[in-house]
Amino acid sequence: MNNIRTKKSRVCQICGSTDRNMLHPGVLVRTAVADLITKEVGSWSEEGWICAKDLQHFRDEYVRSLLESEKGELTQLEEGVLESLRQQEILSQNPEEEFASTTTAAQRLADRIATVGGSWTFILWFGSVLFVWIAINTIVLATRPFDPYPFILLNLILSCLAAVQAPVIMMSQNRQESRDRLRAVRDYQVNLKAELEIRHLHQKLDHLLSHQWERLIEIQEIQIELMNEIRERK
């Protein structure tokens, strides 16, 4: 009868919900979260119950207050971390895929040109072209070269190539910097979420251990009382 009466009395202290599948014992609520509930609701008892929705709400409020006390006003990145905690979603993403989905054809072309222009393959091919150009105009067409020494046409082509290649390489470098910033942002969000989760687990373990010690002390006191009663009877 006592067990049946206990099950029937399971009611959330916050919203009054009686859904047994969603109720959690109040003893599992950490002290800091319990203090926040007491501050907002007015009363709280570890012997009672709380539904999963209200427990998650007050946990989110506690994490928000913790971040605000340490960092001041929350940024959009930190708001995103809190939202992922609230929705219990995976925050980590591949920045390369995220960045690649926003690139245009011109940007991809600039990346390819910068990749080719910054390789030994380009240097060797370009050096070979220069050597062939000079050889043709000094040896093969020595009598009537189309670009005689000092190779003014070659200098013009090299100048035009450098004038075009430099901005293309700069565009690619700017995109690389944007990619690095995006990767740093994602790393910061993941690290912040991991830190909050670890802190939450530590506090929960400390709370459970302290409560367990209190229960053990109570049991020990009851055992001592029983032993004293037995001695008195003897």
- Every domain of the chain and the residues it spans: 1-74, 95-187
Q: Which stretch of 57-71, 162-176, 203-217 has the lowest confidence by average pLDDT?
A: 203-217
Q: CA distances (Å), 102 to each of 9, 97, 174, 210, in order?
A: 55, 9, 15, 51
Structure tokens at 208: 């459970």
Say if residue 11's pLDDT is above 70.
yes
CA dihedral for 186, 188, 194, 200, sign (positive or negative): negative
Rg (CA), the chain: 36
pLDDT given for residue 5 in this prediction: 38
Q: Are residues 189 and 91 in contact, defined by beta-carbon separation less than 8 angstroms?
A: yes
Q: How confident is the model at residue 224 (pLDDT cuts 50, 70, 90)?
A: confident
Which of 2-11, 25-34, 200-209 is least confident?
2-11
Q: Which residues of 188-219 are buried (b: 16+ CB within 10 A; e: fewer)?
A: ebbebbeebeeebeeeeeebeeeeeeeeeeee
Q: Which amino acid is at 115?
A: T
Of the spans 90-99, 150-159, 179-188, 224-233, which averages the highest pLDDT? Answer: 150-159
**Residue 186: CA count within 13 A, CB half-sphere:** 16
* 8 A C-beta contact, residue 175 and residue 110: yes
Confidence (pLDDT) at 90: 64
Classify the phi-psi angles of 42: left when phi > 0, otherwise alpha if psi is within -120 to 50, otherwise beta: left
| Mean pLDDT value across the chain | 76
What's the rounded mean pLDDT across residues 50-70? Answer: 76
Average pLDDT over residues 7-34: 74
Phi, psi of 143 (to 5 degrees): -80, -45
- 152-178, pLDDT tens digit by residue? 888 998 899 888 888 888 888 888 887
> What digits encode the pLDDT tens for the residues 177-203?
878 887 887 787 778 777 777 777 766
